[in-house]
Amino acid sequence: MGHGAAKKFLSENEIPESIKIIDLSQDFRLKENASIGNREFVYGLPELNKEAIRSANNIANPGCFATCIQLGLLPLAKAGLLNQVYTTGITGSTGAGQSLTATSHFSWRNNNISAYKTLTHQHLHEIGQSLKQLQPAGDLDFSFIPWRGDFTRGIFVSSHIHCNEELKDLIQLYEDFYQDHPFTQVSREVIFLKQVVNTNKCIVQLEKVGTKLVVHSITDNLLKGASGQAVQNMNLMFGIDECAGLKLKANYFSYTMKLFDVYPINDITIVKARGSYVWDKNGEQYLDLYGGHAVISIGHSHPHYVERVTRQLNNVAFYSNSIRNPFQEELAEKLGKVSGREDYQLFLCNSGAEANENALKLASFTNGRKKIIAFKKSFHGRTSLAVAATDNPAIVAPVNETPNVIFLPFNDEASLEAVFKAQGSEISSVIIEGIQGVGGINVASESFLRTIRRLCTQYGALFIADSVQWVMAAVVNSFRKTMPA
């Protein structure tokens, strides 16, 4: 019903109180007008009043401009950062209301634009009410200039305030605020209207120059600004999936492949690295104590490393292990001499997980047994058998679960002795990190390692040393011992 008609209809007709109502007019949006008879209306902006909507029987659906503007400003209000707000917004011809007017005709709209209801738009009051709900203290000065646009659907709003906060902190503020709201997203890229047309989404983008913060927000005025939000409210009222019926595809959508979410991503983009230092895209310098999982142990861009890699890339970048490779043979010879293990064989692979995977398989091939002893808080990799021997159920898929891995307390010799005594003839291998990394800096005692060695020899099991951290410590210790005083 149009504005004013809903209130008139309810006053003239007796509707059973068991009937839930969602009203799209502005008749009940303001608190002073939210009651009629025994009915009390809740303002239906889920990002603001989700819990109240769940238990409500009557909803006043927000206005289209009001929705888009508020979703751009609510996190700032919650943080008490709003002062003077200057907002402009442009809407398509479907946002012009039900009445026929000269400005809704195609011939007027085409290749044309104009401001309307400057500083007097009817949504100002409900916007102010919501912002005051989150930021009750202080005076809020809000100014809004709406525009008629040369397109059919959608709203694009830009709000400008003075703000001293860092942009990265503000983005985090918005992401935290909207983390439990499926239809409002924070973009770190430039946004445009076609990303939301035909959806119930709102996308927000922040830009900052000096102390001036601009918040852009975009919605489809017919969906998130009207009927889509009404369906979202209905879902919440009836206790069903909030997104039911609203999984819609935008006019513009991208098939750009996303990176698989493996690790929590720190919001730093490294663009340069030298020695023990790295620099981000903003020129900030960092002392690199991380080294990419301790991979860059010789420092970044070491001249000898760069020269040798460049020389090889200019000759042969890659070829199969099915042909002789003098560099692999040279590496095997040097590692044998350095380690004092010339009688060993070298298996070259790409990662610690792959090394552990093959070590566990080789052990089983060697003695024909199935059971593996690993330890609490261990991390041996994410590949099939390596992850099965890792004490982290969150990364072990059902297909990797096996009763053949026995997890024992770290540094507990009595438990180890007991398992070997009970199942020694079934134990294929024992895998241990001499220094646990992911599970915390836990160091295996010399006595514990000697007990593993003794029991493996006694029962015919293989001792597998997962030694990324361990070897680094041993190498450092070796250099310390051989360096002149």
Residues 129-141, mean pLDDT to the nearest whole number? 93
Average pLDDT, the chain: 91
Residue 341, domain member (yes or no): no
Give the domain-ending residue among 191, 215, 237. Answer: 237
Pick from 443, 440, 465: which is nearest to 452 by CA? 465
Do 171 and 48 have their domain in common?
A: yes
Residues 287 and 409 grouped into a single domain: no
Same domain, 278 and 361: no
- Domain identity same for 137 and 215: yes
Which of the residues 64, 68, 202, 456 is marked catalytic?
64
For 221-232, write each residue's pLDDT tens digit: 999 999 999 999
Residue 480: per-residue pLDDT: 42
Q: What is the pLDDT of residue 484?
A: 43
Residues 121 and 226 in one domain: yes
Which of these ranges, 133-137, 346-350, 441-445, has the smallest mean pLDDT?
346-350
Q: Which of 65-69, 193-197, 267-271 has the lowest mean pLDDT?
A: 267-271
The vertex-167 CA angle with 166 and 171, nearest 5°, equals 120
- CA 140 to CA 366: how far, in whole Å? 76
User: Which residues are 90's β-sheet partners?
Assistant: 147, 156
Average pLDDT over residues 23-30: 94
Instruction: Name the residue range of residue 286's domain.
Output: 270-304
Same domain, 295 and 413: no
pLDDT at 473 over 90: no
Q: Does residue 64 carry a catalytic annotation? A: yes
Q: Calculate the alpha carbon distances from 323 to 75, 327, 335, 344 in Å.
A: 61, 12, 21, 21
Question: Which residues, in sequence order, are CB contacts of 244 under 8 Å at separation 6+?
Answer: 231, 235
pLDDT of residue 300 exceeding 70, the answer is yes
Q: Are residues 293 and 209 in the same domain?
A: no
Q: How confident is the model at residue 129 (pLDDT cuts 50, 70, 90)?
A: very high
Q: What's the confidence (pLDDT) of residue 470?
A: 57
For position 472, what pLDDT does the model report? 53
Residues 84 and 228 in one domain: yes
Q: Is the pLDDT of residue 471 over 60?
A: no
- The CATH number for 73's domain is 3.30.360.10
Picking from 67-71, 154-158, 254-258, 473-477, which range would have the lowest pLDDT averaged per residue? Answer: 473-477
Domain count, the chain: 3
Question: Using alpha carbons only, what angle is made at residue 317 by residues 313 and 322, rounded to the nearest 5 degrees?
Answer: 145
Residues 207 and 281 in one domain: no
Per-residue pLDDT of 428-452, as tens digits, reads 999 999 999 888 889 999 999 999 9
For the chain, what is the total number of helices (H) and then of strands (E)? 15, 21
Q: What is the pLDDT of residue 109?
A: 84
Asked if residue 447 and residue 376 are part of one domain, the reply reads: yes
* Residues 93 and 220 both lie in one domain: yes
Q: Is the pLDDT of residue 477 over 70?
A: no
Per-residue confidence band for 392, with pLDDT thresholds at 50, 70 and 90: very high
Phi, psi (degrees; rounded to nearest 5) at 375: -130, 155
Share of the chain above pLDDT 70, in %: 95
Backbone phi and psi for residue 479, each to the nearest 5 degrees, phi listed first: -60, -40
The confidence band for 3, taking pLDDT boundaries of 50, 70 and 90, is: confident
pLDDT at 103: 81
Flag whether pLDDT at 382 surpasses 70: yes
Looking at residue 369, which CATH number applies to its domain?
3.40.640.10
How large is the average pLDDT for residues 109-136?
94
Q: Using 50, 70 and 90 to split pLDDT, how confident is the model at 251?
A: confident
Domain membership flag for residue 104? yes
